[in-house]
Amino acid sequence: MSILFGSWEIAGRIPVSYAFPTFIESMAAFWVLIIEGTMFVAYAETLKPLVIGVLISAISGISIGLAIGLSRKFDWLVSPIFIVMQTAPLAALIPLLIMVYGIGLTSKVFVVCIMAMPVIVINTSSAVRNTPVSVVEMGQAFLGTRFDIILKIILPAASPIIFAGLRLGVSAGFIGAILAELKITPTGVGDIITYSRSIADYPSMYAAIFSIILLAVVFLNVLEKIENLLFKGTRQVYASE
């Protein structure tokens, strides 16, 4: 971190560009935004579509990914949709969302879901599909029900990849939330970025961008802690078949 921030400070002092402030100037603007309360007001708006979109993506994505991993027919029908969603240019879809859902919260939630859900679905389906067959057969031999096998064998075995998908989904959701604020309506942190750029207040603009990265790191660490708490002691190292 010290190397990164030191390089930022040096690049700002050279300067690389007039629009590239030093690290110290950006952090000073960051604390000003916090002390004035501007940052908290902005995140109160930004977190609404982000939290709703990530929750919808996590619940729906894991459920759909589980169904895809367990059923080849469902995989054949549904997987192409999420592959297209992952590769489609989101900026081109935003005008369509605005035409259908307007410029309110719904459109922004859809943007977050379009960014976050495909990653979660694809990772979950891959994790479920790659559960060791020998372990599943052992559960069946001990007369485990379909629900027991899914809950006690498949999900714990697939949990590392599922949570990796969740972390990637959260990261993509942050990108979607900010992109929605920049492209649909300038609210929240997107408004700080847009307004600061318009008045050439580049330290504040970089401070807002830095806050997004910082919050994303916190979210990802919280997800990792939840993963360790939920699946502590349930992970096994399986011999390759």
Higher pLDDT, 29 or 3: 29
Distance CA 141, CA 76 (A): 29
69 within 8 A of 125, measured Cβ to Cβ: yes
Q: What is the CA radius of gyration of the chain?
A: 22
**pLDDT digits over 174-217, tens only?**
888 888 888 887 778 888 888 888 888 888 999 988 988 888 88
Supply the pLDDT for residue 233: 53
Distance CA 12, CA 94 (A): 34
Supply the pLDDT for residue 31: 92
**In this structure, is residue 6 part of a structural domain?**
no
**In this structure, is residue 86 part of a structural domain?**
yes
**pLDDT digits over 138-188, tens only?**
777 776 777 778 777 777 788 888 888 888 888 888 888 888 888 887 778
**In this structure, is residue 78 part of a structural domain?**
yes
Supply the pLDDT for residue 52: 92
Residue ranges making up the domain that contains 150: 23-230
**In this structure, is residue 186 part of a structural domain?**
yes
**pLDDT digits over 221-237, tens only?**
887 787 777 766 555 44
List the CATH number of the domain containing 112. Answer: 1.10.3720.10
**In this structure, is residue 1 part of a structural domain?**
no
Supply the pLDDT for residue 238: 42
Write the CB contacts of 153 (distance below 8 Å, at least 6 apart in sequence).
131, 135, 136, 139, 144
Distance CA 131, CA 154 (A): 6
Angle between helices 23-36 and 38-70 (to 10 degrees): 100
Tokens representing residue 76 in the block: 């054949």
Supply the pLDDT for residue 87: 77
Tokens representing residue 124 in the block: 């979950």
What global pTM score does this model have? Answer: 0.78
DSSP letter, residue 19? T
How many structural domains does the chain have?
1
**pLDDT digits over 110-149, tens only?**
888 888 888 899 888 888 888 777 777 777 777 677 777 8
The helix (run of H) or strand (run of E) holding residue 66 is: helix 38-70
**In this structure, is residue 207 part of a structural domain?**
yes
